Amino acid sequence: MRAKKPQAKRPARTDVPDDAVSLLMADHRKVEKLFKKSEKASGREKEALVKQICAELIVHTTLEEDIFYPACREQGVEEDAMDEAQVEHDGAKFLIADLLNQSAASDCYDAKVTVLTEYIKHHVQEEEKPRSGIFAKARAKGLDLDAIGAQLQERKESLMADPEDLPAPTPKTIGLSTLAT
């Protein structure tokens, strides 16, 4: 019988991803799971899940807009792609802001959650596209993903420290002034 080779000790597993793209993708997966759960929920349970989704999205969009997207722009990721991502965030913010103030009994509540789900799904697919997505472009342009990941992690911890005091979802590129009569 052959003696068993001593197994190399694996480094302790940590749930904290260390590079920017891994961290942002982990957020995407978390929100996807919450959306899935919310599809099967109703009433108070759905409301709580939707509030959690909105909070996660506020934190995620803040991290991207304050740290990751500016780093991408600075490193030369195409303006068009970055502008499109920003406009998609801004469109979602209207639904997020609205849903935070609604109950499951409100008009069109389920429809709004469904539209937000689809909207975020599309945005996430765009960001993660293998060659043409922002994440792939960020890698191709040589962003220091470890350094940016550390900044994202630090900011995330400070935002999560006070979940009652998250920034209000504020669109940067779309206003409602054009609708005023």
Which residues sit at the interface with Fe ion, rule CB under 5 A? 64, 127
Comparing CB distances to Fe ion, the nearer of 19 and 64 is 64
Are the CB atoms for 128 and 17 separated by under 8 Å?
A: no
Comparing CB distances to Fe ion, the nearer of 47 and 127 is 127
C-alpha 14/C-alpha 65 separation (Å) is 26
Cβ neighbours of 145 (radius 10 Å): 21
Comparing CB distances to Fe ion, the nearer of 29 and 44 is 29
**In terms of Cα–Cα distance, which of 82, 130, 99 is closest to 35?**
99
Give me the residue whose beta carbon is nearest to Fe ion.
64
C-alpha 129/C-alpha 111 separation (Å) is 27
Helix axes of 109-128 and 79-100: crossing angle, nearest 10 degrees: 160
Comparing CB distances to Fe ion, the nearer of 38 and 86 is 86
Q: How far is the CB of 135 from Fe ion (least distance, A)?
A: 8
**In terms of Cα–Cα distance, which of 37, 50, 168, 55 is closest to 110?**
50
Q: How far is the CB of 32 from Fe ion (least distance, A)?
A: 11
Q: How far is the CB of 111 from Fe ion (least distance, A)?
A: 23
Q: How far is the CB of 156 from Fe ion (least distance, A)?
A: 13
